[in-house]
Structure 1
Amino acid sequence: MTSRELSAADLPEAIDRALAGTSILILPASRAGAVTEADPRMWAGPGSSPALVLFTSGSTGQAKAVALSSHALTTSARATERFLSGPGDWHLCLPVNHIAGFQVELRARLAGRAPVRAASARFTAESFAAAVDSLLQRAGGRPTYTSIVPTQLHRILDDDRATRAAAQISHILLGGAAISPALLDRADEAGLAIVRTYGMSETAGGCVYDGVPFDGVDITITEAGTIDLRGPVVADAYVGIDDDGTITPIESAALTTDEQGRALMHTSDLGRLDNGVLSVLGRADDIIVSGGENVSPHALETGLLPSWQRAGVTEMLVTWVPDAEWGKKIVALVRLADDCPFGAEETPRQLARHLNGFDRDMTGQLLPQLVFAVEEIPSRSIGKPDRKAAAEVAAELEAGSGP
């Protein structure tokens, strides 16, 4: 065997082979691609072959291939069980080519029962509710889990049946993108058992739950304010895959080892530790310099959304457009609720003035000068905000909005 494509039905047993070291699973770079299984002899690096190769989301540029060991994957999966309520029944509504979706398949396999998989690639509140009904009927006395991203949670909370179904799940893992406090408040009021996760492809998925790292995972905040993660869940290396299928490690300053030989991931995420609890403050490379001031889109979204949500905004994404005076002018893309009392008749500048007038807690902050109402907030397949696409959308909308 050099490599072969797998169907969804093949994946559970292929996971067993990869964990046992008799094959390497390679996830596709896009959702439309197929999972493939490669011979371990295609590994051209030192030591044992990895169990899994997958591609990052590309949120910081070009997607990179990451190699994860069997030990990293199973350590992560077992740590999740310990943090939650033990082995249970899983619902899968994330694409399996991303680590969050793959981890649901892996946790379900280790727990001895296949996940209840979404019937459609397109997530809707209706399909979620139907799948969760099946999950709850099958589970019996076992705990139930699902893993979702904030965009999906918005859709769930906008639908009464989906919200009632979600409230019956033992634990809901929520990650993959920045999470607004306002969204968490809505979920809490609806009785949802949300567990906030932080991690990435290079850490075998979430390795910090509700700000607390897994056992064996250490967090350090660098002098630059960015987050370093070290421990058994960290990837072996970034890799390149040659045309003949050979998998070769690639040296990178982001994935290294510390003085004790432990795997170390240098992230681009800004963070703060308070008594050992991590708060993620956004990405260092997302910072917008406007009028000589550094603006964190994540911090601005977190600060504004609670008041904007009361005014009828369901989702928002802060971005920028080129400007002769400011260099980069702060703008926001928003999705408005169906019953929002304003927006359609207002210009982007009037909408910004209207929404900014609701907030009293952002004194001294640069606020969006333009606000554009859109049908969908730009995002990548896993639900991460697509800030590059958002900037392009904002520039197009500004060009067509007039003075």
Structure 2
Amino acid sequence: MPRPLVALDASDPLAVLRGLEAALAGGPALLPVDQEAPALPTPPPADVQQRVALVVTTSGSTGTGKRVALSSEALLAGAAAADAALGGPGGWVLALPTHYIAGLNVLTRSITAGTAPSVVAPGHFAAAAFVDAAERLVTGPAAPRRYTSLVPVQLARVLDDPRAARALAGFDAVLVGGQSTPAPLRARAVAAGVRIVTTYGASETSGGCVYDGVPFGTVRAEVVDGELQLAGPMLAEGYLGDDDRTASTFVVRDGLRWYRTGDAAEVEDNRVRVLGRLDDVVITGGEKVPLGAVERLVRELPGQDGAVVTRRSSGEWGEVPVVVTAEPIDLELVREHVGNALGRAARPAAVVLVDAVPMLASGKPDRRAVRAVADPDV
């Protein structure tokens, strides 16, 4: 029997919260919508399979967006395992958009804990607004802990404000997207007494399911032909209206269903180290250069926490790495730092200075827009 799919404007987090509560209880499935985002080529269906409780539209930062279908079982399994990994249920400050899985996870975990999330005032994220939300957060005996989830740029803004940094240090855990969090920013947070937990996951895994490099609960991580694959009860049903993509992304192996992340990684002693996107490689002068590795090195340099490394066409070399940043930096310094670690071919060919690095509402770099800035002829 089909289940109706209800679209809600994600600019009202409390309406999304009520819609998610209803969906988890067996009511209509929920599709949170960012009214300002470009529409996908096809409209969403009026109905979905009975197992589907939530549909999340991915950002499409490196390609076409997708509609990821998640069951109540997957969402609740992820929430329960996360609570266990963090030390128990608690109250949450919501600082992320509710049309992305990270923001929806805050709502799901609030629902399962029986707590009301404290919502940061909408609009441009400001440290003062975070402090206000933190002061409004109410916890109770059944869920006494204090949590929030931030993207790196938000964490940096909070740490830049002494009052906000003190407030953040009062949380039991602060979840931050792990692979995009520069090491200097993590060090700043630790020095400020902030208990950060770096996370890795996707909409297809009901959000973060690897904390500080370790898969939580019954999640399994393996590398197959260089690609990280994840298995566990939190996996999505697939992609709405795209059976071919579902079949190629979710595969059965060793009697388990696995999600092919598309990320290169290493797994040693059950600890995951993500190296970057498998397809995010340039061939320059006949040598393969992983842009993710170059970007991590650039972000180690002072003031470059938000720098993004992209590709640019080159008549001489084929393609070359290029740094796009809002903070001035000497190209030769960048080339020396990267070349010492990865070799001559990996050295960026240019630094492109912008007023602000293009970002998505999720807090991730808009890599298509960044590429257009670095290589306008593409």
Please give the range of the TM-score, normalised by the shorter of the 2 chains.
Answer: 0.7 to 0.9
Map 1:156-175 to 2 at 5 A.
156-175=158-177
The question of 1:268 aligning with 2:235 is answered no
Moved more, 86-95 or 356-365: 356-365
Paired residues of 2:176 and 2:197 also in contact (CA < 8 A): yes
Matched letter for residue 266 of structure 1: R
Separation (CA, whole Å) in 2 of partners of 1:230 and 1:371: 39
**2:247 equivalent among 238, 244, 252:** 252
Distance 1:4 1:318, change over 3 A: closer
What is the aligned partner in structure 2 of residue 206 from structure 1? 208
What is the aligned partner in structure 1 of residue 271 from structure 2? 277
Matched letter for residue 26 of structure 2: G
Separation (CA, whole Å) in 2 of partners of 1:208 and 1:278: 8
Separation (CA, whole Å) in 2 of partners of 1:100 and 1:128: 17
What is the aligned partner in structure 2 of residue 113 from structure 1? 115
Distance 1:95 1:197, change over 3 A: same
Residues 154-209 of structure 1, C-alpha deviation per residue, up to 9 Å, x if partnerless? 22222222222211111000117522222211211111111011100000001111
Question: What is the CA-CA distance between 1:305 and the residue it aligns to?
Answer: 2.6
What is the aligned partner in structure 2 of residue 26 from structure 1? 31
Separation (CA, whole Å) in 1 of partners of 2:299 and 2:135: 32
Using structure 1 for the length normalisation, give the TM-score.
0.83
Distance 1:358 1:380, change over 3 A: same
Paired residues of 1:314 and 1:334 also in contact (CA < 8 A): no
Moved more, 139-148 or 67-76: 139-148
Distance 1:220 1:331, change over 3 A: same
Separation (CA, whole Å) in 2 of partners of 1:331 and 1:230: 35
Question: What is the CA-CA distance between 1:314 and the residue it aligns to?
Answer: 4.1
Matched letter for residue 230 of structure 1: A
Question: What is the CA-CA distance between 1:86 and the residue it aligns to?
Answer: 0.9
Tell which structure's C-alpha radius of gyration is larger.
1
Moved more, 118-127 or 175-184: 175-184
Separation (CA, whole Å) in 2 of partners of 1:60 and 1:54: 17
Matched length:
365
Residues 8-62 of structure 1, C-alpha deviation per residue, up to 9 Å, x if partnerless? 44433432321232321112255669xxxxxx9923x5xx431111112213311
Question: What is the CA-CA distance between 1:126 and the residue it aligns to?
Answer: 2.3
Distance 1:358 1:206, change over 3 A: closer
Matched letter for residue 373 of structure 1: L
Matched letter for residue 214 of structure 2: V
Matched letter for residue 27 of structure 2: T
What is the aligned partner in structure 1 of residue 41 from structure 2? none
Using structure 2 for the length normalisation, give the TM-score.
0.88
**2:62 equivalent among 57, 60, 63:** 60
Moved more, 214-223 or 168-177: 168-177
Residues 82-132 of structure 1, C-alpha deviation per residue, up to 9 Å, x if partnerless? 111211110001100011101101111111121001112321222222222
What is the aligned partner in structure 2 of residue 17 from structure 1? 22
What is the aligned partner in structure 2 of residue 139 from structure 1? 139
Moved more, 7-16 or 126-135: 7-16
What is the aligned partner in structure 2 of residue 328 from structure 1? 319
Separation (CA, whole Å) in 2 of partners of 1:41 and 1:115: 29
Secondary structure of the 1:333 match is strand
Residues 200-220 of structure 1, C-alpha deviation per residue, up to 9 Å, x if partnerless? 000000111111112221111
What is the aligned partner in structure 1 of residue 348 from structure 2? 368
Matched letter for residue 19 of structure 1: L
Residues 335-361 of structure 1, C-alpha deviation per residue, up to 9 Å, x if partnerless? 32xxxxxx4xxxx8xx20144456784
Question: What is the CA-CA distance between 1:229 and the residue it aligns to?
Answer: 0.8
Secondary structure of the 1:25 match is strand
Paired residues of 2:107 and 2:117 also in contact (CA < 8 A): yes
Distance 1:268 1:75, change over 3 A: same
Structure 1 residue runs of 5 or longer lacking an equivalent are 34-39, 242-247, 337-342
What is the aligned partner in structure 1 of residue 240 from structure 2? 239
Matched letter for residue 127 of structure 2: A
Separation (CA, whole Å) in 2 of partners of 1:171 and 1:8: 22
Separation (CA, whole Å) in 2 of partners of 1:276 and 1:378: 35
Distance 1:17 1:107, change over 3 A: same
Structure 2 residue runs of 5 or longer lacking an equivalent are 39-44
Separation (CA, whole Å) in 2 of partners of 1:359 and 1:130: 41
Distance 1:305 1:196, change over 3 A: same
Distance 1:355 1:112, change over 3 A: same
Secondary structure of the 2:148 match is strand
What is the aligned partner in structure 1 of residue 331 from structure 2? 352
Moved more, 227-236 or 167-176: 167-176
* Coordinate RMSD, CA, aligned: 2.8
Separation (CA, whole Å) in 1 of partners of 2:289 and 2:102: 29
